[in-house]
Chain A
Amino acid sequence: NAGVTQTPKFQVLKTGQSMTLQCAQDMNHNSMYWYRQDPGMGLRLIYYSASEGTTDKGEVPNGYNVSRLNKREFSLRLESAAPSQTSVYFCASSDLPRDRGPENTEAFFGQGTRLTVV
């Protein structure tokens, strides 16, 4: 199994350009997440999707949009990139159940997309 796959691995954008980061998981997980990690910092949640068809804002959603295309795929779009969005972006998935049962499981992460906006 591939787990969580992110594309691309590296990207350089000019200020004002747009792009979409792709994420796919093959573990049939309900929940998917997008995070950004700035140098020497922890991960900050941008958006998450608790299940197919739903998306919600995380800690730092401004400047981003997401689409939960189907159960496997969760994309992150930058409509007009800014230098402040230079970061490493991680996608993750987990099998948190819809009805919050007693069994909760860990998140699995992709290898990250290193984005530089110049």
Chain B
Amino acid sequence: SQQGEEDPQALSIQEGENATMNCSYKTSINNLQWYRQNSGRGLVHLILIRSNEREKHSGRLRVTLDTSKKSSSLLITASRAADTASYFCGMDSSYKLIFGSGTRLLVRP
């Protein structure tokens, strides 16, 4: 079984709206990373938040981390059709990088 779970599994929004994805994990982590995947291609790194950080921003991305609840969220603001993809959280612990189950985001033009 995977160490991380994401919700929702799928999300459909209108262009311009915000998209929020959540990730919960089971083990202690060094950092948590968010990745994007287009159409079965390799994952591309979006943003990394360390275990001693609570919030981080990068462009239209905002990620939060609550280590007491073992959860993280990714917010994409002012979404675009080009943001349509699958998004995965990756938990880095003990030299391993374990991924959640992913959220499929559809942004309708």
Q: Do A and B bind each other?
A: yes
Q: Which residues of A contact B54 (CB under 8 A)?
A: none
**Does the CB pair A42–B41 fall under 8 Å?**
no
**Does the CB pair A111–B95 fall under 8 Å?**
no
**Does the CB pair B42–A106 fall under 8 Å?**
no
Q: Which residues of A contact B35 (CB under 8 A)?
A: 107
Known contacts A41-B101, A42-B100; A108/B45 CB under 8 A: yes
Contact with A along B29-57 (1 / 0, CB 8 A): 01101010000111111001010000000
Q: Give Cα A56 to B96, complex, Å.
A: 9
Q: How many residues of B contact A (CB 8 A)?
A: 28
**Does the CB pair A42–B101 fall under 8 Å?**
yes
Q: Which residues of B contact A108 (CB under 8 A)?
A: 45
Tell me how far the C-beta of B69 lies from the nearest C-beta in chain A, rounded to whole angstroms.
21
Q: Is A19 interfacial (CB 8 A cutoff)?
A: no
**Does the CB pair B95–A48 fall under 8 Å?**
yes
Q: Is B68 interfacial (CB 8 A cutoff)?
A: no
Q: Give Cα A33 to B99, complex, Å.
A: 12
Q: From A33, which residue of chain B is reached at the shortest CB distance?
A: B97
Q: Is B25 interfacial (CB 8 A cutoff)?
A: no
Q: From A110, which residue of chain B is reached at the shortest CB distance?
A: B42
Q: How large is the interface on A (under 10, 10 to 19, 20 to 34, 35 or more residues)?
A: 20 to 34
Q: Could you say which of A66-74, A78-86, A92-100 contacts chain B? A: A92-100
Contact with B along A36-65 (1 / 0, CB 8 A): 010001111100101000001011000000
Q: Is B85 interfacial (CB 8 A cutoff)?
A: no
Q: Give Cα A32 to B69, complex, Å.
A: 29
Q: Give Cα A31 to B92, complex, Å.
A: 12
**Does the CB pair B50–A104 fall under 8 Å?**
yes
Q: Is B98 interfacial (CB 8 A cutoff)?
A: yes
Interchain Cβ contacts under 8 Å between A and B, 27 examples: A31-B95, A33-B97, A42-B6, A43-B99, A45-B96, A45-B97, A45-B99, A56-B95, A58-B96, A59-B1, A59-B2, A90-B43, A92-B42, A94-B97, A100-B30, A104-B31, A104-B50, A104-B92, A105-B48, A106-B48, A107-B33, A107-B35, A107-B43, A107-B90, A107-B97, A109-B43, A111-B42
